[in-house]
Every structure is written in C-alpha cells, then in structure tokens.
C-alpha cells in the first residue's frame, strides 16, 4: 500500500534559509543547518533543500552545506539548485543527497533527466515544475533561472513520463507563501496526465490541506511557510491525513 508523505521544504538564497511569497517577497530565516536540526527532531518523512538562486547565478547548490546537513540529520534529503549535468548530480549524491531535484536543465535539455534516471535510478531524480495559472485558466511554466520557458506544462509532464523520472514536484507560484491552501485543480490536472508520483507544493496553511491535496492526486504534501511560521508540525499533518483515512508513513 502506498503511504503518503509530508515533506518540509527549505529554500536557500545561497547560504541562508529564506521564505518567499509568490516567488518574490523574501524573508530571511537563518542558518540551514539549524533549521534542518529542528526538522530532525520532528521525525519528518523527508526534507527538500532547494537553492532558488543557484541557476540564475549560474552556480550550483553549496555541497559543503549539503554534507554538513546529512552528517547531523537522519532523514532522506532531496537537493536541488543549479545541477546541470550527470556529473553535478553524481557529486550531490556523493555528498549525501538521496535524491536530486532539477528544474532549469530539464526544461532546456530533458536528455539530462533521461540519462540521470538511467545511470542513478529513476528513484533519485525529481523534476521540479513551477507553475502559474493565467487569466484564461492555462498553466504556465516558470524557470528557476528566470529565463523564458518555451515548453507548455502538458509538454513538461509528457517529458517526465518519457524520461521515466521518479517524482514530479509541482509548485504553485500563485499559492507560494500565502497559506490559503494548495491549488487542488492544478494537482488534479497534473495527476490525470501521469502515473509518476507528484509532490504538491505551494499554499499549505493547515493540516487538513495536506489531506485534501493527497485526495486530489498528490503522493506527498510539501510545505514551508506553514512549518516556519506556525506551531503546526509534520506530525500534526500526518495525523490529519490519517484521520481522513489516508495511509501515511
């Protein structure tokens, strides 16, 4: 039986933890190792660590920070930010990451995802897709690098299927940081176009939101603001999912 997960997301601007609102306004939250230690005490299912400036600044996530976190914290870790080649992915895995998340390079050259899934195993490769909804109800992709995305959301999902990646992180830019609930329609739309497990992100504000998004088709509920700025914990969210009849870890 598939057991669903609750996954805290930690966003970096290089070396500090930040939290964005709609990928724009930022609030600095301090040292990533300190934040990871807190999550380590809360028995989280997994942790996602993303450097949101790495691609734009043409660098990769700091692997020393990744290694420091994995030495002290004992939860599966997904790492992303500026990883552009199979060699970059190999180094991230060698420094302690269990999985990697790729965004910009996937949109530019999906063959990197295809080759990485073949070399390292599909379970190691997470494709991160950042999505807004325009006034006509169409889903529009965005790149971490800030460049123009020429692929549609549907094309990107089809490429994920073709490349046989392990998971898709679908992040609603419109809901990012506002804590008004996930974009249920977005996740339902994505889930109907792939059998690849989907991690939903963007908008979680209360434990019941996690249960609702899993019922919409997500395999896992990711959140940041809810855990940074409220007393809600991943365990509270798992309890809400369990109460809704959803199997959890």
Task: Give catalytic status of residue 43 as yes or no.
Answer: no
pTM for this model (two decimals): 0.95
How does pLDDT run across 127-168, given as a tens digit for each residue? Answer: 999 999 998 889 999 887 566 688 899 999 999 999 999 999
**3-state secondary structure at position 57:** coil
Q: What is the DSSP string of 79-108?
A: EESS--SHHHHHHHHHTT-SEEEE-HHHHH
Given 51, 53, 88, 130, the catalytic residue = 130
Name the fold adopted by 5-243: TIM Barrel (3.20.20)
How does pLDDT run across 24-82, given as a tens digit for each residue? Answer: 888 889 899 999 999 998 889 899 999 999 999 999 999 999 999 999 888 999 999 99
How does pLDDT run across 219-247, given as a tens digit for each residue? Answer: 999 999 999 999 999 999 999 999 999 99
Tell whether the model's pLDDT for residue 172 goes beyond 90: yes
Tell me the pLDDT band of 215, cut-offs 50, 70 and 90: very high
Q: What is the mean pLDDT of the chain?
A: 94
Domain coordinates in residue numbering, the chain: 5-243
Query: Cα angle vertex 155, ends 154, 156, to 5°?
Result: 90
């Amino acid at each position: 039986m598939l057991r669903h997960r609750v996954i805290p997301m930690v966003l970096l601007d290089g070396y500090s933890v930040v939290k964005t609102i709609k990928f724009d306004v930022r609030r600095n939250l301090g040292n990533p190792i300190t934040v990871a230690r807190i999550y380590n005490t809360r028995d989280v299912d997994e942790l996602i660590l993303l450097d949101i400036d790495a691609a734009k600044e043409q660098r990769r996530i700091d692997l020393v920070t990744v290694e420091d976190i994995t030495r002290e914290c004992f939860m599966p870790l997904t790492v992303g930010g500026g990883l552009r080649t199979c060699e970059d992915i190999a180094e991230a895995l060698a420094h302690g990451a269990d999985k990697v998340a790729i965004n910009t390079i996937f949109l530019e050259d999906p063959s990197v995802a295809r080759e990485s899934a073949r070399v390292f195993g599909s379970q190691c490769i997470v494709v991160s897709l950042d999505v807004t909804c325009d006034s006509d109800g169409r889903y529009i992709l965005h790149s971490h690098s800030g460049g123009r995305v020429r692929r549609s959301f549907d094309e990107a999902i089809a490429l994920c299927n073709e490349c046989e990646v392990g998971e898709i992180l679908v992040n609603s830019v419109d809901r990012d940081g506002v804590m008004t609930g996930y974009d249920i329609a977005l996740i339902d739309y994505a889930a109907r176009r792939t059998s690849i497990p989907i991690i939903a992100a963007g908008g979680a504000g209360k434990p019941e939101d996690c249960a609702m998004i899993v019922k919409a088709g997500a395999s896992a509920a990711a959140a940041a603001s809810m855990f940074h700025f409220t007393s809600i914990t991943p365990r509270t969210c798992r309890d809400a999912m369990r109460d809704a009849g959803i199997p959890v870890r």
